[in-house]
A = this chain, B = another copy of it.
Amino acid sequence: MTHESEPLGLAELQHRLARFAAARNWQPYHTPKNLVAALSVEASELVEIFQWLTPEESARVMDDPGTAHRVADEVADVLAYLLQLCEVLGIDPLTALAAKIERNEQRFPVPGERDA
């Protein structure tokens, strides 16, 4: 219960989520298929907050403390299920993202920077 004070890295949070699920015997529910469903449901809960907003209103969504908290909470839910999915599949999310960014930098060259 003294976790609040220390800065946490992604890997440590992933381990805490794994211990959290194990302590509650939730692993049988955490098949990859179920975790991707849960991930998509949480992503849709984020969409729900924004669905009727104009683009301009959506840019001001953090101005209201209640909505700001709700958005941060759904962001946390998406990240939690993504890390739990990576845990059960043995994927390193940072390595996967770095590789993706490399590929995208090849795929979408910056205009005028080809020979830089």
Contact = CB atoms under 8 A, between A and B. Distances in A.
A29 B52 CA distance: 6
A55 B78 contact: no
Contacts of A13: 94, 97-98, 101
Main secondary structure on A side of the interface with B: helix
A49 B98 CA distance: 22
Given A4-B98, A16-B101, A75-B93, A47 B55 contact: no
Given A96-B79, A97-B79, A52 B34 contact: yes
B41 A51 contact: yes
Contact of A39 (B54, B78, B104): B78
A78 B29 CA distance: 22
A91 B79 contact: no
B40 A36 contact: no
A90 B60 CA distance: 11
Interface of A: 3-4, 7-10, 13, 16-17, 20, 23-24, 29, 31-34, 36-41, 43-55, 58-59, 61-62, 71-73, 75-80, 82-83, 85-86, 88-91, 93-94, 96-102, 104-105, 108, 110, 113
